[in-house]
Structure 1
Amino acid sequence: MIERLFRLIKPGTRQQMVCFHHAGGSAEYFLPWKTDLPPDTALYAIQLPGHGGRINESLLHNLHQMADVIAQSYVYLPARDTFFFGHSMGAALAFEVALRLQKAGRGITTLYVSGRLPPHKNTNTDFYRQSDVSILNKITQLGGSALDYQQPELKDLLLPIFRADFTAIETYQRQCTELLNCSVMACVGEQDTEVSVRQMSEWCQVTKGAFRLQVFPGGHFYLNHAQKRLLAFINQSVAAQQSSKECKEYHDEI
């Protein structure tokens, strides 16, 4: 179960990053990231039931249920500095898991959220209720290729996944009465039509820790074209936090 849910993309011995995919995505989306992370950083990617290599399993339709499943299995991962990255639906899911882990005494170091409204804001959309054509048009609008879904077999395979994920994220609700203690880094494409730079800045309201907003060129899927730039930002901020932690530990010892 743990290997299916947390796909190990790259081993590492010092710290670990766990990535949460967008609606309709899979763990495989993060495979290219392994070349741009430091050798000592392990990379895991969440593989939800019904996605990727788990295509034959039943889909989940509730984001809180997804978060419960992930948080319950997280205990099997190594206990070391952990950073979450979530894009779009994955940002909300990563936040929910981080909140659950904090309550359980295994808080993460930093939460990177990308291309998603903060959890206390609703999109007021209901594509999960709409026709297949409307969902396909939405996917194309976000940056997906309509040609990928013209084959009937492929469309029949993928549409239930998108509908389930849209259901999960569009019915998701959270009042931020509980705050994270970890740092939160918000990332957004400057031409993103799903969330504005100003709206991404409101992620500062979910944490007691440090907050930073980083803007990248591109739209909702800016990370497809700005992978190296995004990971350079992540690597730099991770290294800075690690250095700060080591300095604090040194001064505590003396």
Structure 2
Amino acid sequence: MSALPNPWLRVLRQGEQPRARLVCLPHAGGSASFFRSWLAHLPGNIDLLAAQYPGREERFNEPHVTCLMRLAEHVSQALQALPPAPLLLFGHSMGAAVAYETALRLELAGRGPMHVFVSAHPPPHRQPSSDLHRQSDAALIADIRRQDHGGASLWDDPQLRALFLPAVRSDYQAIETWHRESLQTLNAPIDVLLARDDQEVSLSQATAWRQLSRHVPDIGLFDGHHFYLKQQPRPVIEYLLQRVAHYSGTPL
């Protein structure tokens, strides 16, 4: 695995002349390693990178960033420092908001993405209000358990709770305080991924992303709950590639 000097991006795979660069934005409490399993299913001519937010893994001792706009600004600056290549952005849950805000900044800089994928999160004008980042550890952990049944055992260990909960709380603050004075439309296509049994995002909310792109979004539905992509990385990646081919007219 190669590394970039910029700590905001983890390179999971990087080739000499990639057909495209897929950059993944993790969920609240998530890290770049969450997307390592995608390497087994992604064509070899596509680079895979993931954002690494402060306060986790190799950035564990760095101060957390509690503002989503600042997260997006750092990620967009890191991407602009890379050599030009067709860019695909994929964000899951909180990462969907980071992907959208990052894309806005890249378009403003003349380095707009080829395609943006938002997974399991409503657009800013349909995000419900919440203040879990202000509530007790027990309330925050209960919300995490409700969304991700598979990772529930992590929170049974007091030492692990103490290690990981600060990053989760900071991310919850970032997404819960995300607010836009006005909606901004992307030039890039936005497609939406949603689990059929996701209790966090409704189909109506997912469809509302159409107000933020000049293209009509497709809604890709998958079996499962909020973290559906853990169990089915291959179908998710196949969907991404099919949608990119649909707009570009050329398979990756």
Give the alignment's TM-score, normalised by structure 2.
0.93
- Which residue matches 1:249? none
Q: Which residue of 1 aligns with 2:249?
A: 243
Equivalenced residue count is 246
Please give the alpha-carbon distance, in whole angstroms, between the structure 1 residues aligned to 2:249 and 2:40.
23
Residues 57-107 of structure 1: CA deviation (Å, up to 9, x unaligned): 110001011111112222212211100000000000010000011111111
- Return the index of the structure with the highest Cα Rg: 1
Which stretches in structure 2 are left out of the alignment for 5+ residues? none
1:6-25 correspondence runs (5 A): 6-12=9-15, 13-25=18-30
Write the distance in 2 (CA, Å) between the matches of 1:69 and 1:175. Answer: 21
Q: Percent identity at matched positions?
A: 36
Q: Which of 197, 200, 204 is matched with 1:194 structurally?
A: 200
Contact 1:119 1:176 in 2 (8 A): no
Check if 1:229 corresponds to 2:235: yes
RMSD between superposed Cα atoms in Å: 1.7
- Deviations along 1:210-244, one digit per CA (max 9) or x if unpaired, are 42111111110111112111111112222343435
- Residue among 106, 117, 128 paired with 2:122: 117
1:208 aligned residue (211, 214, 217): 214
Out of 128, 131, 138, the residue aligned to residue 126 of structure 1 is 131
Question: In the alignment, residue 169 of structure 2 is paired with which amino acid?
Answer: R
Measured at CA, do residues 43 and 176 of structure 1 come closer, stay the same or move farther in structure 2, by a change above 3 Å? farther
Worse-superposed segment, 111-120 or 230-239 = 230-239
- Partners of 2:216 and 2:57 lie apart in 1 by 34
What is the CA distance between 1:52 and its match in structure 2?
A: 2.1
Contact 1:122-1:173 at 8 Å conserved across structures: no
Deviations 1:130-168 (A, max 9, x none): 100111111100014332122222111111011100000
Q: Is the Cα–Cα contact under 8 Å of residues 242 and 251 in structure 2 kept in the other structure? A: no
Name the counterpart of 1:69: 74
Which of the numbers 158, 163, 170 marks the counterpart of 2:169?
A: 163
Q: CA deviation at 1:125?
A: 1.1
Letter in 2 for 1:67: A
